[in-house]
Amino acid sequence: MVAESVRTESHFQHARRGAIPGVMSNATRYLCAAAYLDEGFCRKVIGELVDPEHRAVVPSYGFDVGAVITHSVRARRLQLIRDLVIWAVLIGCLFVSPFAVSTYFSMALPFVMARLVPWRRFGWRRRFKIAWALVLIYFLLWLLSGLVVLVWAYAVTRLTSEYSSTTGGPSPLPTDLWGNPSLYLSCIVLLGIAMVIIPFGWQVLVFRMMRRDLAPGTRTPSLDVLTHRARRRAERLVDAQVGNVTLYSGGNPFIGSGAPDSPWARAWSIVVELDRPATPDTPAKTVDPVALHEHVRRRLMAMSEEWPTADSDQPDRSDPRRRLPPNERIAGLNIDYHVVARGACTQYPRASEPGFSVPDYAGHPLIDGSAGMPYSKATDACRESIIRHPQGGVRCYQRVTIGAEGQAVRDTADQIIAPAEDQDIVVSVFIYLAVEGHMLYAQFVADVLPPIRREYHLIDHLASCTDASLIAMAIRRRWLSALSDGVIGPFRAIRTLGQMAAVRLQDDQHPERLTAYDYGARLSVRELAAEDTLPTYLQVLDAHKYSRLVERRLNEAVLDHLQSQDIDVSAYRMQANQIIEQSVMISGGNYGPINTGSGSQDNRGMTIS
């Protein structure tokens, strides 16, 4: 029996986004600015999102990945033009005066080495020692280059005199340094000026473009400015970012929510018996994990909705006292089901059940075999089936995301006292509820995504800068890079052109025909641009506050549902109280909370009960 590819469009689908945001959010603007300010960020975004056509994408919250891709492609184009111009100038000078080019390289090499040193990682003493080492290396290179020039000049002079005495004609050997020093000096001066003007002029041009296109209130750019190939891939990612399926590559299934080994990550689990009745004479009822998930979701949504949601998913206005006033609602709270699976997908014909010897299944349920693309959305019926089958390779979590945007402070007359302030952090909580073997396994995983790096907030300052201020800012920010771009630029251009050529060669790849292929997402744009730590202690407290609010609400919702099913919850309550009572937040050196609880605490600050 030959297996045929199984079509699963009724279970998994390609997500479709609705209307495009008219105005870019602050997070979107900062991520777009990062493409111009950080060439490494730009290269990774294109290399992980645009170039690989068949790779999954991480669901995005609070920003538009299409705008980030658009500006990243344009930033790379501008960087390539700058590097090609530098390359052309060097080649032209190389034909006129090779010695001038070699002298320039020897002068710029120390600045290249200084640019490659991670100065921020070292203290002042270490920086002082590194600076002295660079000066010494610079002096030795000058001695070596001077010795080479003298030997070369002496050899050229001897060969020229011998050639002239033998043939009587002029020598074809280059004698610009030895025979025409004015040409050498003119070339080295013009080359130095060009290698300073090109990077500084490019930076001023980029600043002016950022001031125009990324100012507060700027409209979202259209994908039509991209090439056909880049636009096709960007449109797929724009749709997929609103999906609820993540194929992950690596060990972190919660990619995009923060580093799992961060000081703020926290995880615990509770196990309770479901066949132990609350009273001996009343048998315990059956627990449906889907109904339990829905009960938890309604209780969590009640923290942000005006009216609590009834079992019919309609607002319950029966009791006016249960209305939640606007100032008590948690702003930025989003709840959705989140399906995760490994990105390394097996696609060869195989048996669908253990013990079967005849292969009756081919392909992968999360991959669209006709297009070779990962699905990004699971239907409601599909995720309910996944919840009821906890031993499958695909898992379904309930994801609670809270962006601490804050609210405006108003007085009793509804007048604004203080506008809303964006704290720029994202708290993510993943809830897993598995009913298996007359047991309930409840898992809680919380993490915090730090703010976007402060250096990318430069766009807020550029919006009010004059052209003179932009020039001064370009000099302050690019002086070291400008002195070294002449050496690094040609190598950057070669690397960029090589990557573009490699992508063109891979355009005809059909991974759905392979026995196995890794479709998993490797990069979260928001996570790539995040700070290494939470900059302020208030952000640490906010992150702790929201994770504890969700944790408490989860436990109470599970307890209420189990009690309604006549199940003994004493064991669950004891474990939950242990975790809550023994969980202590201690301020570390980087304002990082360290959670200690009723389980064993590993070296990542995660408490697992």
Task: Convert the pLDDT of each residue in 480-510 to its tens digit.
Answer: 677 777 778 888 888 888 888 888 777 667 8
For residue 520, what are the CA distances in angstroms to 324, 363, 499? 41, 16, 21
What is residue 436's three-state secondary structure?
strand
For residue 135, what are the CA distances in angstroms to 117, 125, 196, 393, 421? 14, 16, 21, 58, 47
The two three-digit tokens of residue 235, written as one number: 């449109």
- pLDDT given for residue 405 in this prediction: 65
Burial of 216 (0-12, 13-18, 19+ CB in 10 A): exposed
Residues 78, 46 share a domain:
yes
Alpha-helical (H) ranges within 423-466 are 458-462
Give me the phi and psi of 337, to 5 degrees please.
-85, 140
Is residue 206 in some structural domain?
yes
Residues 87, 202 share a domain:
yes
Residues 594, 486 share a domain:
no
- Is 277's pLDDT higher than 80? yes
Residues 540, 445 share a domain:
yes
pLDDT tens-digit series, residues 558-586: 999 999 999 999 999 899 888 877 665 44
Is residue 327 in some structural domain?
yes
Residues 86, 229 share a domain:
yes
- pLDDT given for residue 330 in this prediction: 86
- pLDDT given for residue 291 in this prediction: 93
Given pLDDT bands bounded at 50, 70 and 90, which one contains residue 148? low
Is residue 361 in some structural domain?
no
Q: Cα–Cα distance between 474 and 457 in angstroms, integer?
A: 16
Is residue 303 in some structural domain?
yes
- Is 306's pLDDT higher than 50? yes
Give me the phi and psi of 296, to 5 degrees please.
-65, -40
Residues 405, 276 share a domain:
yes
Residues 590, 497 share a domain:
no
Residues 292, 145 share a domain:
no
Residues 269, 162 share a domain:
no
- Is 222's pLDDT higher than 90? no
Is residue 573 in some structural domain?
yes
- pLDDT given for residue 443 in this prediction: 93
Residues 302, 189 share a domain:
no
Q: What number is the average pLDDT over the span 101-105?
A: 75
**Number of neighbours of residue 213 by Cβ within 10 angstroms:** 20
What is residue 111's three-state secondary structure?
helix
592: left (phi over 0), alpha (psi -120 to 50) or beta: beta
- Is 304's pLDDT higher than 90? no
Buried b (16+ CB within 10 A) or exposed e, 158-196: eebeeeeeeeeeebeebbbbbeeeebbeebbeebbebbb
Q: Taking every pair of C-alpha atoms in the chain, what is the biggest distance, in angstroms?
A: 122
**Number of neighbours of residue 68 by Cβ within 10 angstroms:** 30
Is residue 529 in some structural domain?
no
Residues 213, 273 share a domain:
no
Are 277 and 283 in contact by the 8 Å Cβ rule? The answer is yes
Q: What is the dihedral of CA 52, 57, 60, 66, to 10 degrees?
A: 30
- Is 347's pLDDT higher than 50? yes
* Tally of helices (H runs) and strands (E runs) in the chain: 15, 18
Report the predicted TM-score, pTM, of the whole model to 2 decimal places.
Answer: 0.82
Q: Cα–Cα distance between 458 and 460 in angstroms, integer?
A: 5
- pLDDT given for residue 400 in this prediction: 94
Is residue 377 in some structural domain?
no
Is residue 519 in some structural domain?
no
- Is 320's pLDDT higher than 60? yes
Residues in the chain: 609
Q: Cα–Cα distance between 475 and 452 in angstroms, integer?
A: 24
Are 536 and 590 in contact by the 8 Å Cβ rule? The answer is no
By residue range, what is the domain housing residue 33? 12-233+458-505
Domain total of the chain: 2
pLDDT higher for 564 or 187?
564
- pLDDT given for residue 346 in this prediction: 85
Amino acid occupying residue 406? G
Q: Cα–Cα distance between 10 and 378 in angstroms, integer?
A: 9
The two three-digit tokens of residue 180, written as one number: 């025409």
Q: What angle do CA 290, 443, 345 make, to 5 degrees?
A: 80
Question: In this prediction, what percent of the chain has a pLDDT beyond 90?
Answer: 25
Tell which residue, 446, 362, 412, 332, has the closest CA to residue 61: 332
Residues 279, 180 share a domain:
no
pLDDT higher for 206 or 17?
206
